[in-house]
Amino acid sequence: MPVVVPDAVVKADNVSMVTRYSAEVVDKSAFLAWAVENYEMANHLVEPNMKNLNAMARSQRDEFKIPGVNLVKKKTTQTRTGNNFPF
C-alpha cells in the first residue's frame, strides 16, 4: 500500500513543539569515576542507598565493614506476650 504524504502540514493554534531534556546513566562505573574526580561539583549527585546498606548491616551484623560507613547498634526493649491474638 503506498504512503500518502500531505502537501501541507496544518498548524493548530496554541500548539508548539517543545524539547525536554533529561539524563540517563548508561555506564555507572564511568559516572562514579567522574563523580569521584569532581567531588566538589558532583557530591550531591551520588546518594548512598540507605535501604540496601541497612539491610546489609542487619544481615552481616558485626561483620559489616564498608569504608566510610559506620555500623550503628542500638539497644531497644521488646515485649512479648503469651497470646498474640486479639481475641
Give the Cα separation of 84 and 11 in Å (integer).
68
pLDDT at residue 84 in the model = 65
Run means of pLDDT, 10 residues per run, the chain, 87 residues: 71 87 97 96 95 98 97 93 68
Measured between alpha carbons, how far is residue 22 from residues 19, 25, 45, 82 in Å? 10, 10, 14, 56
The residues spanned by each domain of the chain are 28-63
Helix (H, G, I), strand (E, B) or coil at 31: helix
Instruction: Find where cell 533529561 sits.
Output: 22
Q: What is the pTM of this model?
A: 0.64
